Amino acid sequence: MTNKVTSKASNLPSNTPTALASWMRGLAREIEHQGCDAHALFSEAGLDFDLLDSPEARYPVPQTTLLWQKAVALTGDETLGIKAIRHITPATFHAVGLSVMASETLEQAFGRMRRFVDLVTDASEIELLSTEREFVVELKLKDDAQPAHQSTDGFLCLLANAGKGLGDASLVPLRVELSRPAPQAGNLDFFEKSFAAPLTFGCNTMRIVYELTMVRTRLKGANTLIAEHLDQASQAAIDRLKPASSVSRKLRDWVANRLPQGAPSIEDAATYMNMSARNLQRKLADEGTNLAGIVDEIRQSEAMRRLKQSGDSLTAIALDLGFSDASAFSRACKRWFGKSPSDIRGAQAS
């Protein structure tokens, strides 16, 4: 991958958060739709307009925030973020967008968004929480990232309308919490219709809340085989984002080989990397991950592969992935996929 940014952004620190350039394509088209010169506006913000059509090019988030600010000032339209997503398609997000479309359930779709959100932007992360009755999708900003309100408006509106995008207009949230201030009174109705859910503004969190049974409803367009192949492409793209010398990349193969002995401790991993546990934790945090996250990603990917492609017993798979027994493996599968290992294997057979 060529991790392209504009020359004006090249003086920014190497750890500056970035976003997929094609994500800005929707904004460019909305700006032009409103009769403004998108090319000139991108130039004013220090962004190379031509990168919009480069599949894996990325823009620095400080520049995209400036672009949003300039676009709102130029158009006078605080709803720009929501309007921009009208020009977005699943292919805008490449493999991860298409794998989401092939997911079995809305819960799985959000799981893929969480796992591969760094492909869209590494300025934020998605956390998934569930209670006895509710399923919560929370967008968390990393470190000091401060994207424009319109950017998070658009991204959260996409998430809130994921069910409709997956072909079932009945899959709507129970409620949505936004950290941004309430819009002007004349725009409030537009916000509510766009999110198709009751909204609360000025919150400490950015959350979309669904009924738990709703997100576990099987989707008509599900195609697990296609989704899994696309997941591999998304993981490869994630790996290309990281420097070859990244700590998390070096750890992945070691963790995968070490799992039959149980999930490694941070001390074990630090010994392998020849550094202190505290130093390893800090370096992984700098790369937006941690040891538990690496272990979980490897287990999830390998579990689905083994359940679909092998006839190994559930106990054998569980032990190979470092679980204490088949029951612990089953609980993990229900968390990852919303179903038991036997159900996954049964669906494959049918």
CATH classification at residue 166: 3.90.1520
Residues 6 or more apart whose Cβ sits within 8 Å of residue 137: 110, 126, 127, 128, 159, 207, 208, 209, 210
**What is the distance of C-alpha 155 from the center of its chain?**
10
**What is the distance of C-alpha 164 from the center of its chain?**
18
Do 339 and 256 belong to one domain?
A: yes
Do 78 and 201 belong to one domain?
A: yes
Do 207 and 59 belong to one domain?
A: yes
Do 34 and 137 belong to one domain?
A: yes
User: How many Cβ atoms are within 10 Å of 306's Cβ, its own excluded?
Assistant: 19
pLDDT at 264: 92
The predicted model scores a pTM of 0.70
What stretch of H or E contains 74? helix 61-75
Cβ 291 vs Cβ 279: under 8 Å:
no
Helix, strand, coil percentages (3-state) for the chain, rounded to 5, are 60, 10, 30
Q: Is residue 236 part of a domain?
A: no
Tens of pLDDT along the chain (350 residues) come to 334 443 344 444 556 788 889 889 999 999 999 999 999 999 999 999 999 988 788 899 889 999 999 999 999 999 999 999 999 888 788 788 888 888 888 998 998 888 888 888 888 889 998 888 999 999 988 766 678 899 999 999 999 998 888 878 888 999 999 999 999 999 999 999 999 999 999 999 999 999 999 998 888 878 888 888 888 888 887 777 766 557 888 888 899 889 999 999 999 999 999 889 999 998 888 777 889 988 998 898 888 888 888 888 999 999 999 998 999 999 999 888 888 888 888 765 55
pLDDT at 349: 53
Residues 6 or more apart whose Cβ sits within 8 Å of residue 75: 31, 34, 36
Q: Is residue 64 part of a domain?
A: yes
pLDDT at 5: 43
Do 16 and 118 belong to one domain?
A: yes
Give phi and psi for 265, each to the nearest 5.
-85, 165
Cβ 252 vs Cβ 294: under 8 Å:
yes
pLDDT at 195: 95
Q: Report the C-alpha gap between 167 and 165 in whole angstroms.
A: 5
337 exposure class (CB count in 10 Å sphere: 0-12, 13-18, 19+):
buried
Do 182 and 255 belong to one domain?
A: no
Cα–Cα–Cα angle for 16, 17, 19, rounded to 5 degrees: 135
Do 163 and 102 belong to one domain?
A: yes
Q: What is the tally of structural domains in the chain?
A: 2
Do 142 and 211 belong to one domain?
A: yes
- CA–CA distances in Å: residue 129 to residues 79, 176, 207, 294, 343: 28, 14, 10, 19, 22
Q: Is residue 229 part of a domain?
A: no
Range of the domain at 287: 242-349
What DSSP string runs through 142-199?
-TT----HHHHHHHHHHHHTHHHHTT-TT---SEEE-SSPPPPHHHHHHHHHHHTS-E
Do 81 and 202 belong to one domain?
A: yes
What does the buried/exposed string (b/e) look like for 183-209 if buried means 16 or more CB atoms within 10 Å of the residue's CB?
A: beeeeeeebeebbbbebeeeeeebbbb
Rg of the chain over Cα atoms, rounded to whole angstroms, equals: 21
SS3 231: helix
Do 248 and 211 belong to one domain?
A: no
Q: Is residue 220 part of a domain?
A: no
Q: What is the DSSP-derived secondary structure letter of residue 265? A: P
Do 71 and 156 belong to one domain?
A: yes
Which of these, 179, 160, 189, 208, lies nearest to 79 by C-alpha position?
A: 189
Q: DSSP strand E in the chain: where?
A: 18-20, 58-60, 124-130, 134-141, 175-177, 199-200, 206-211
Q: Is residue 227 part of a domain?
A: no
87 exposure class (CB count in 10 Å sphere: 0-12, 13-18, 19+):
middle
Do 204 and 298 belong to one domain?
A: no
Cβ 89 vs Cβ 95: under 8 Å:
no
Beta bridge partner(s), residue 20: 58
Q: Is residue 233 part of a domain?
A: no
Amino acid at 224: T
